[in-house]
Structure 1
Amino acid sequence: MTLTFILLKHLHVWCVVLSVMLFCVRLSWLRKQNELLKKRIVRILPHLIDNLMMISGIGMMLILHYHQYLPNWLALKLVLLGSYIMFGLLAMRKKQARLITSSLALLSVFTIVWLAINKPALSFLTF
């Protein structure tokens, strides 16, 4: 493995950790109606972290030549990333469904992490 790949992987993992932690903190603040949610940095930081996470992920895909052949586990991770974004957005905006949507967002993330660690064949999926 190249040094570039290792640096991208570490950046990617740190962005995942920061993204989930910030999501949970923002949910807590939302529940308590904390004024910190209105701060500009709190509104911008999740977008910066998530974009950096996606850019580092794309960089790793290019280094590993996954742009030529996308494994099923990676395709599923991309679908789950979309569900994390969608459920996270709903959790932040819809009070009546917050418990369900935040739980589904976190379930999406935990599944993504499981897929990243185990990289199963998933032969039942054909993309």
Structure 2
Amino acid sequence: MDYLALKHFHMGCAAASGALFLLRGLWMLRASSALQQRWVRILPHLVDTALLVSAITLAVWSGQSPGSQPWLVAKLVALVAYIVLGTIAIKRGKTLAVRATAFVAALLVYAYIIMVAVSKQPWPL
């Protein structure tokens, strides 16, 4: 696989990850039993693993270390925030209000990550 193909695979994984999170978050807001389906509990982890492995591979192939580019640092910090907010939204939030707030915040962080990736700037706005 060449760099461009891997980059497109990574972008596809990012889109799939975001779409799956959005779907799971909407189901959470509706208290849907669909969240308990086996594929819903497994597929997002597989997609996110592929996303992370492709990101690391792209960084290695391009010779970029996480601290070498400010935009990469911004993406990594935002990724940690997205993961924490996402787990609060889907699993760990004690009330619906907490989960809903974390869900919206996670979606905003996801949008920020995409904007940083496209602009290659830590402050894309």
If the TM-score is normalised by the length of the shorter chain, which range does it land in?
0.7 to 0.9
Q: Which residue of 1 aligns with 2:74?
A: 76
> Quick one: percent identity of the two aligned structures?
32
| Mapped partners of 2:110, 2:63: distance in 1 | 24
How far the C-alpha of 1:25 sits from its partner, in A, is 0.8
1:38 to partner: Cα distance: 1.1
* Runs of 4+, deviation exceeding 3 Å: none
1:19 equivalent among 7, 17, 20? 17
What's the TM-score, normalizing by structure 1? Answer: 0.86
Deviation at 1:121, TM superposition (A): 6.8
SS in 1 for 2:73: helix
Aligned residues: 120
Q: 1:87 to 1:69 in 2, by over 3 A?
A: closer
Which residue in 2 is equivalent to 1:91? 89
User: One-letter code of the match for 2:105?
Assistant: L
Query: Any conservation in 1 of the 2:66–2:72 contact (CA below 8 Å)?
Result: no
CA offset at residue 15 of structure 1? 0.8
Per the TM alignment, residue 68 of structure 1 is displaced from its structure 2 partner at its CA by 8.2
Counterparts of 2:73 and 2:5, CA distance in 1? 23
In structure 2, distance between residues paired with 1:5 and 1:86: 30
Stretch moving more, 72-81 or 23-32 = 23-32
Q: Deviations over 1:46-88 (max 9, x none)?
A: 1111110010011110111003862011011011011111001
| Residue number in structure 1 paired with 2:105 | 104
In structure 1, what is the Cα distance between the partners aligned to 2:66 and 2:11? 23
The within-5 A match list for 1:58-69 is 58-67=56-65
Farther off after superposition, 40-49 or 24-33: 24-33
Moved more, 3-12 or 83-92: 3-12
> 1:45 aligns to what?
43
Unaligned runs of 5+ in 1: 123-127
What's the CA shift string for 1:10-69, capped at 9, x where partnerless? Answer: 111111111111111111112222222111111011111111001001111011100386
Structure 2 distance, partners of 1:115, 1:31, is: 28
18 and 110 in structure 1: CA distance in 2 versus 1, 3 angstrom threshold = same
